Every structure is written in structure tokens, then in C-alpha cells.
Structure 1
Amino acid sequence: MSELVTGTVRVRVRYFAGAGAAAKVDEEHVDVAEGSLVSGVLEVVGAQRGPDLARVIAASSVLVDGVQDRERSHPVRDGLTIDVLPPFAGG
């Protein structure tokens, strides 16, 4: 019996404003399993980069290839870009 092997996909995650400060990078590439959702990618980067980033992600808006994903349920594919946009103040 052969084992089903799941491949990986590479996505780009960009951090803006306070998210970049919490992540300590402006962007990074992340490898995740095929079939992952945006929420899964964000869990991975939050776990890797620490609780400060995880808190910022929880309060942030997320864009997937420039389109808002409120539910963070978009399936990821190779080359996809996820933007993490924390709440902004000012005018």
C-alpha cells in the first residue's frame, strides 16, 4: 500500500505597519501543505515569530492577492500573496 504524500506550496506574507514591527520583517516566504487555508498560514507565522505577531494578526485585516479575506478561508496556492494590515489610526 502506498502512502499519499501531500506536496507543499510557497506563499509570500507581507506585513504592514505594526505587523512588520511585531514580525521583525516586512515580508517572508512560507512553505505550507497543499490544501492549507490562509488561516493556517497565519497560524504558522504567528507560532514561528511569537505571541506579539499572533496578537497583531488576530486584530488585522487580511488581503489575499489584493482581495480582502474576512474569514481567512481562502485556499492557498503556490505564489499567492497574503497581506497583514493592522488597524490604522489617524487621517
Structure 2
Amino acid sequence: MDPTHLTVRYFAGARAAAGRTEEVLPAGRSLDDLSVELTQRHGDRLAAVLRVASFLVDGVTCHDRRAPLPAGATIDVLPPFAGG
């Protein structure tokens, strides 16, 4: 774990929209900030996924998109899944 960065992992439709399985970004941001940067990097298709996705921060569901993310965290981007 690198304490100066965040690891973002993409699943299902988020992976397809981002065109990758994961990436590493500098720490010091919230989920809202991260979503803005990821949209700038990967475009509107990923932005649409991010608007409806759930986020896990080190395996725990994060509901406050404005809270600072802990340095060194792993962020999982989970779009809604079909089925049960």
C-alpha cells in the first residue's frame, strides 16, 4: 500500500467504460473529486457509470462522497449489477 496514492479498481460496466481494470492516482481527495478527475480522464461513458455506482473504500461501503479518502486506500467502483 502506497500512502501517497489511491488505487481505483473497476468492475463490470465500470471496467468497460474506463478501458482498464485499475489505476493509481495521487491521494488527497474525496469520491466527488475523484469522480471529476476520472470523468476528465475517461469521458462521459464512465461519468454515467460513476453517477449510479457504489463505492467501497478498503472494502467498506462509502456513502459520504465528500469525505476525504484515506491515503493508501483501495477504491472499488461497482456499477449496478443485473440479476440476483
Q: When the two structures are superposed, what TM-score results if normalisation uses the length of structure 1?
A: 0.80
Report the number of matched residues.
Answer: 81
Kindly name which structure, 1 or 2, has the bigger radius of gyration based on alpha carbons.
1
The unaligned stretches of length 5 or more in structure 1 are 1-8
2: CA distance between counterparts of 1:49 and 1:63?
A: 20
CA RMSD of aligned residues (A): 1.3
Q: 1-side partners of 2:32 and 2:75: how far apart?
A: 10
Task: Determine the structure 2 residue equivalent to 1:45.
Answer: 38
Which residue matches 1:3?
A: none
Identity, in percent, stands at: 44
Deviations, residues 38-83 of structure 1 (Å, cap 9, x unaligned): 2211211121111100110001011111111122233123311111
- Tell me: higher relative CO, structure 1 or 2? Use CA pairs within 8 A at least 6 residues apart: 2
Structure 2 unaligned segments of length 5 or more: list them.
none
Q: Secondary structure at the match of 1:46?
A: helix
1:15 aligns to 2:10 (yes or no): yes
- In structure 2, the residue matched to 1:78 is 71
